[in-house]
Structure formats: C-alpha cells, structure tokens
Structure 1
C-alpha cells in the first residue's frame, strides 16, 4: 500500500508511537559540538569531538579517559580491516555519558563501538548493548565526518599527506540538531 497523504501516514501508526514521536519532537533541542583535537592512539589518527547536552560539559579529564577507551578498542582494529583513521565522540548526554569510536575500514566500510555509562562516571563506561546505534546528535557528527572523509581523503586532490591534513582540519563545531 502506498501512503500519499499525511493523515493516512499518521493513522497507520499505533497511538503509543504517535505519542512517543510527539514527546520526542517537543523535547528536541540543539547540542553543542566542539573539537577536542587530533591524537594518535594504537596506530590511528583520532579526530575527537565533545557533544554536550544543555548544562553538561565534557572535561579534559573525560576527554583523556575516552581516548584511553579508544586506544584499548583500536588496539585490535587492524584485525577488523582498519585503515588507521578514527573519530572519537565523547557525549555528555542528558541521560548518561557515551563514547563512540568510529573507524574507517577496508572496502569503504566502517566500524563503530559505543560505550555507555552513568553521567559523570567515566570509570563506569562499558560496551553498549548489541544493536545500539548513534543518537540524532552523534549521527550528525558522524554524517559530517563521512562527508569529510569522502570529500578530502577519497576524492581530494594532492598527495595523501595533503589530503589527510585537509581532513584533519575539517571540523564540525557549534550546535547540531
């Protein structure tokens, strides 16, 4: 069945889903994204970002702890086909803290690990449940990084070193929704 009008589209969802969607839309807000710089970890170039919910801040200690988590995870990334470029997201969320380690792999693919824990307890971060995927704010940063990787590294001009320098400097900062 093809749905071609808004009323039919809304009517096709269970009432509880409509209520949940309304609640999400009403609570949606921007989150601040800022660069935490470029690092090396386990043979990878790691471009790091902080994502901050209103009233939350990613501290330098939390950034360093997240980099240690990334280093441990990336230590075996070459076994998964890693190409040595990674993006680290340190998300001080409204309901807890998250660390995402995204790595470009062979065959135009990527690898993603998500660690979750209680707000403000970096030591409590553990691998997320199977099937967990990035939230809307994390996905916005990863979308930017996907475009930067394709535009600068894969399709860029110049030597690979020049392409990597341009990729390194292509940062997303400000509010994401």
Structure 2
C-alpha cells in the first residue's frame, strides 16, 4: 500500500509495541513501524491517535471494549490501521487511513479497500492469536493477559 502508488520492495522493518491507553471507554493497544528509523516519532504517534479517535465507535456497555492500532511511517507518508473487536468476541472490524508528510494528521481512507501491508500484518496476526488465546477461547477471559501480550522485533 502506498500513498503515491509506487511499487515497494519488501525488506524487514522494526516494529515496536506501544503502551496501551484508554480512549472514550476503549482500551487501545498499539504498534509502531518505521521504514527508516527504530520507531515512529512522537508527532506521528500523536497524529495516529486522531485517526483512532475518529474511527472507534461508542464503547460497549458492560463489556470490555478492546482495540489496537498499527502506525506505520514510510518515505511517502504514514498509515494507520485501526481495529476493534466486536461484542461477540470473534469479529475484528478495521479501518485503514493514510496521509502525506505535509498534511499530518489529515487522514484519508485507504484507497481500493486496502486493509494492511505485509509489515502491518505481523501485528494483526499477533493480535488475532493473543485475542483467541486470552479472550475468545477461555471460559473465563483474561483481558489483563491479552493487554500484556505484544510483539516487537524486526519483521
């Protein structure tokens, strides 16, 4: 996925886990990916929170509301995948946003129903496995274990 629709060549990139935070009744886990440095800078992470806040629906009544975001900066701009778990605990909703470096945080929907790139999918895959292991499958969900589970490294 690119802002300028130029082809990309795969090379491993660093992904960092960001501390979970609360937003309007949601607990949001986060990841940061950068094409050119160890992690996205604070201004990119702050801009991504705008997309998260704009995307998440009202939190669920009497049930945990859990979401995650994957912030990814590349030479041509920034991307944010915002995903949240449904009330029934087995459906993941998502929205992907992009913006250019000159218009942070003017996020626009990703074109052509794009979901995520190969780097962002590493975080999404981890979140799926952690959600099943700690929330969807056990008779007694362990949200603390889910929130503590993250993935970082080079992917």
TM-score norm. by structure 2 comes to 0.82
Matches within 5 A, 1:10-29: 27-29=9-11
Name the SS for the 1:153 alignment partner: helix
Specify whether residues 56 and 93 from structure 1 end up closer, same or farther in structure 2 by C-alpha distance, changes over 3 A only. farther
2:146, 2:116 → 1: CA distance? 22
Q: CA deviation at 1:55?
A: 4.1
Superposition CA RMSD, Å = 2.4
Structure 1 runs not aligned, ≥5 long: 1-22
Structure 2 runs not aligned, ≥5 long: 1-6
Aligned residue in 2 for 1:36: 18
1:170, 1:84 → 2: CA distance? 16
- Could you list the structure 1 runs, at least 4 aligned residues long, displaced by more than 3 angstroms after superposition: 75-78
Asked if 1:92 corresponds to 2:73, the answer is: yes
2:103, 2:15 → 1: CA distance? 20
Aligned length: 146
With CA pairs under 8 Å and 6+ residues apart, which has the higher RCO, 1 or 2? Answer: 2
User: Match for 2:108 among 108, 111, 126?
Assistant: 126
Aligned residue in 2 for 1:173: 152
Specify whether residues 120 and 175 from structure 1 end up closer, same or farther in structure 2 by C-alpha distance, changes over 3 A only. farther
Q: CA deviation at 1:77?
A: 6.5
Matches within 5 A, 1:62-81: 62-76=44-58
Name the SS for the 1:123 alignment partner: coil
Larger CA Rg, structure 1 vs 2: 1
CA deviation vs aligned residue, 1:123-161 (integer Å, no higher than 9, x gap): 23222224112101111110110000001112347x54x
Specify whether residues 77 and 114 from structure 1 end up closer, same or farther in structure 2 by C-alpha distance, changes over 3 A only. farther
TM-score norm. by structure 1 comes to 0.72
Aligned residue in 1 for 2:132: 150
Name the SS for the 2:85 alignment partner: strand
Q: CA deviation at 1:47?
A: 0.2
Bigger helix share: 1
